[in-house]
């Protein structure tokens, strides 16, 4: 998704802008641009279709200025092109705007401005903002007031940074539905849409709230609302390691993040296991035992992989606490006028904490008086701030578009929640001990799976050319199959279907042939015999089978098998998923895909 960076201070802005944009590359984009201004006045602007490296090559050595803004664009209004790349200027080339989000009434505003004689140079919705702001500053209005006035005419979502060549002592930023974070330096200030662009320069940050603006100067900032009321913020400290933003010797961020999982799971568990009472200690829920006992249902909301992690979470909660639990895509929930119940606990799941559909679902629940917890990776993100309490994953920044370590940590977080709920209800101390011990064993067990990378890479290379793949699992295995299929299709573009193994004979068995291999989750649990019968049905139709299993099935039932260490049945899905991440990664590599930035996808979907 689009990225924003901005700098104001004593140094030249350009190196920071280019580096910051490169740090945001992982979000996915199709064009990039920068604008700077300085003491000599006037704007210097460069924008190109393509990569940040192409932009850097197009920026001449004399492109200098102490105040600047930059952008990576992911096309929504108008094709990827130099003209449609941000920043967008007004006719007099005084105002420059970078914008994330969508201005819904752009056509209407464009028509009015055109009738007034404004000439547009791009097809974007953003350009209306530059002209609207310019009209106000042209009348002698301060930049912040001009931005406020312009935003008052806009319907839609935005994160913006605005530069005025005639007021180079400030940048004005604003947020409504699309993140903006201010970075506080020593006599210099930064602005970005994502902390990853800032962490090399400062760890002190302020997240703007929806409906808030900021005037940012080299020596500080002031925040206020769209109706000019001053607001106050305490800066927070980003605790993510800087080396998380490098590939650290791995070929891709995705492979690095898959291999980081033993450590990220340890961090999710750290300080949260209570061995004395065989439960989990979760400080941030803001719910005491009595309130938790009153909960009759749990509803989990997330999008994409976060939704599938929620499905695993719902099973864990039901199994360990016997509270009915269900996961639903937040993107669907928010549009169906959901019934909000006082005795239901809602849980929003998000790695980025900025997914607009999930945020909108949280806001809808809260508006109706519901209670929402967040299971979120990014500290201080919009969803985390909106929730009544919750758990941070502490998985560290996830750079690759495809989610892996955050997915696994989300499931671990749900296991902790389920254990906590369970021990408040009827989960016995013995069962609590069983789960605590299994959670502690996970990091080493993940290491065991990762040690099989080479064998899985060979399998992936053998099957990457398939026209499609079927993923099947029963009950606990079904969300694993869904996540496995999602990972394969999103990074390798190989078609993948996920089905409950039990449903195969009710239709999709018709698809089975040597051309459509099946990845089958075959845990050694109470459903093993059923799963083996399904494998027999596939083999009887000459289907090829890759089994992800605890015990190798007979040769006649599976062509290949990846063995995974056994956990407790409730936690097995978590380990069964790891080989599927490696399978998807190596299939994508075999097909020479852009693994960390798959086509048509962005890391954080901050639009509707
Ligand atoms: C899948 C993937 C997406 C995200 C989804 C939610 O690998 O990356 O499906 O999981 O867009 O994102 P977050 O968790 O940031 O809300």
CA of 601 to the centre of ligand 1 (A): 10
> Which residue's C-alpha comes closest to atom 7 of ligand 1?
402
Helix axes 261-269, 405-424, angle to 10 degrees: 30
Q: Is 409 in the pocket of ligand 1 (CB under 6 A)?
A: no
Residue of 44, 405, 487, 603 with catalytic role: 603
Q: 177 - beta bridge partners? A: 158
- pLDDT band at 80; cut points 50, 70, 90: confident
DSSP-H helix ranges across 397-492: 405-424, 429-450, 453-463, 477-492
pLDDT > 70? residue 1: no
pLDDT > 90? residue 242: no
Q: In the prediction, which pLDDT does 129 show?
A: 97
Task: Place 608 in a pLDDT band, splitting at 50, 70 and 90.
Answer: low
Q: Whose CA is nearest to atom 3 of ligand 1?
A: 304
| Distances from the Cα of 290 to the Cα of 286, 295, 424, 506, angstroms | 12, 9, 9, 45
Does the annotation count 2 as an active-site position?
A: yes
Mean pLDDT lowest for which of 76-90, 175-189, 238-252, 355-369? 238-252
Average pLDDT over residues 390-412: 95
At residue 117, the 3 state secondary structure works out as coil
CB of 604 closer than 6 angstroms to any ligand 1 atom: yes
- Is residue 223 in contact with ligand 1, taking CB distance under 6 Å? no
Pocket test for ligand 1, best of 305, 401, 484 (most atoms within 8 A of CB): 305
Which residue in the block uniquely carries the two structure tokens 């605790």? Answer: 239
Q: How many CB atoms lie within 10 A of CB 219?
A: 11
Q: Is 603 labeled as catalytic in the residue annotation? A: yes
**Averaged pLDDT, 58-68:** 93
Distance CA(289)–CA(229), nearest Å, equals 40
Q: What confidence tier does 67 reach under pLDDT thresholds 50, 70, 90? A: very high
402 ligand 1 Cβ < 6 A: yes
Look at the block and give the residue holding tokens 């009434």. Answer: 105
Q: Tell me, using a 6 A CB cutoff, whether residue 350 lines ligand 1.
A: yes
- Residue 355, ligand 1, Cβ within 6 A: yes
**Higher pLDDT, residue 2 or 49:** 49
End-to-end alpha carbon distance in the chain? 12
pLDDT at 574: 98
Ligand 1 centroid–CA 462 distance in Å is: 28
**Token pair for residue 589?**
């590599």
Active-site choice (2, 303, 387, 561): 2
DSSP-H helix ranges across 61-201: 106-115, 127-137, 143-151
Confidence of residue 312 (pLDDT cuts 50, 70, 90): very high
The backbone torsions φ and ψ at residue 288, rounded to the nearest 5 degrees and listed phi first, read -85, 175
The pLDDT confidence band at residue 600, using thresholds 50, 70 and 90, is confident
H helices within 223-378, ranges in order?
Answer: 253-259, 261-269, 289-293, 305-321, 330-333, 356-367
What number is the average pLDDT over the span 221-245? 87
Q: List the one residue out of 384, 368, 375, 373 whose CA is nearest residue 346.
A: 373
pLDDT tens digit sequence for 32-55: 999 999 777 799 999 999 989 999
C-beta of residue 159 within 8 angstroms of C-beta of residue 100: yes
C-alpha of residue 333 to centroid of ligand 1, in Å: 16
Sheet holding 389-392: strands in order across?
A: 325-329, 297-302, 344-350, 371-376, 389-392
- Mean pLDDT, rounded, for 287-308: 96
| 483 has pLDDT over 90 | yes
Residue-level length of the chain: 608
């Amino acid at each position: 998704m689009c990225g924003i960076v901005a700098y104001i201070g004593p140094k030249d802005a350009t190196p920071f802008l280019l580096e910051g944009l490169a740090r945001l590359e992982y979000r996915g984009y199709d064009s990039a641009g920068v604008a700077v201004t300085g003491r000599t006045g006037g704007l210097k602007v460069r924008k190109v279709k393509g990569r940040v490296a192409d932009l850097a090559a197009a920026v001449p050595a004399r492109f200098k200025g102490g105040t600047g803004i930059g952008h990576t664009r992911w096309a929504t209004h108008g094709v990827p092109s130099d003209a449609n790349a941000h920043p967008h200027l007004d006719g007099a080339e005084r105002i420059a705007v970078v914008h994330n989000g969508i201005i819904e009434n752009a056509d209407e505003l464009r028509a009015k401005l055109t009738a007034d004689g404004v000439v547009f140079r791009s097809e974007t919705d953003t350009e209306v903002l530059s002209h609207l702001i310019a009209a106000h500053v042209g009348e002698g209005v301060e930049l912040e007031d001009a931005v406020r006035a312009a935003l008052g005419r806009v319907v839609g979502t935005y994160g913006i940074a605005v530069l005025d060549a005639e007021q180079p002592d400030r940048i004005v930023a604003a947020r409504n539905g699309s993140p903006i974070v201010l970075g506080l330096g020593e006599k210099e200030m930064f602005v970005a849409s994502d902390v990853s662009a800032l962490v090399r320069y400062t760890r002190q940050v302020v997240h703007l709230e929806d409906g808030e603006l900021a005037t940012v100067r080299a020596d500080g900032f002031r925040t206020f609302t769209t109706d000019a009321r001053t607001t106050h913020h305490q800066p927070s400290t980003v605790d993510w390691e800087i080396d998380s933003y490098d590939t650290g010797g791995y070929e891709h961020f995705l492979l690095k993040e898959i291999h980081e999982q033993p450590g990220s799971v340890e961090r999710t568990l750290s300080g949260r296991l209570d061995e004395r009472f065989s439960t989990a200690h979760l400080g941030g829920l803001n719910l005491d035992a009595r309130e938790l006992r009153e909960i009759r249902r749990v509803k989990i909301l997330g999008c994409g992989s976060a939704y599938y992690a929620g499905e695993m979470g719902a099973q864990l909660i039901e199994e360990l606490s016997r509270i009915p639990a269900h996961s639903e895509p937040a993107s669907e929930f928010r549009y169906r006028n959901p019934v909000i119940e006082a005795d239901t606990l809602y849980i929003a799941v998000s790695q980025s904490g900025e997914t607009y559909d999930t945020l909108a679902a949280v806001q809808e629940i809260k508006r109706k008086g519901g209670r929402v917890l967040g299971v979120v990776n990014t500290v201080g993100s919009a969803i985390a701030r909106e929730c009544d309490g919750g758990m941070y994953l502490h998985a560290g920044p996830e750079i690759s578009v495809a989610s892996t370590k955050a997915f696994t940590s989300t499931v671990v977080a749900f296991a902790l929640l389920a254990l906590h709920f369970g021990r408040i209800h009827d989960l016995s101390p013995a069962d609590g001990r069983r789960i605590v011990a299994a959670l502690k064993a996970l990091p080493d067990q993940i290491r065991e799976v990762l040690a099989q990378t080479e064998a899985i890479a060979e399998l992936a290379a053998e099957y990457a050319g398939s026209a499609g793949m079927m993923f099947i699992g029963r009950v606990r295995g079904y969300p694993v199959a869904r996540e496995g299929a999602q990972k394969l299709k999103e990074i390798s573009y190989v078609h993948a279907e996920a089905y409950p193994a039990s449903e195969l004979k009710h239709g999709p068995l018709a698809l089975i042939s040597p051309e459509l291999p099946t990845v089958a989750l075959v845990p050694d649990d109470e459903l093993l015999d059923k799963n083996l019968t399904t494998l027999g049905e596939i083999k009887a139709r000459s289907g090829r089978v890759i089994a992800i299993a605890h015990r190798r099935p007979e040769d006649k039932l599976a062509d290949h098998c990846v063995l995974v260490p056994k956990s407790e049945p409730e936690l097995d899905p978590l380990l069964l998923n790891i080989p599927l991440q490696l399978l998807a990664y190596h299939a994508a590599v075999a097909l020479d895909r852009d693994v960390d930035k798959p086509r048509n996808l962005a890391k954080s979907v901050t639009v509707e």
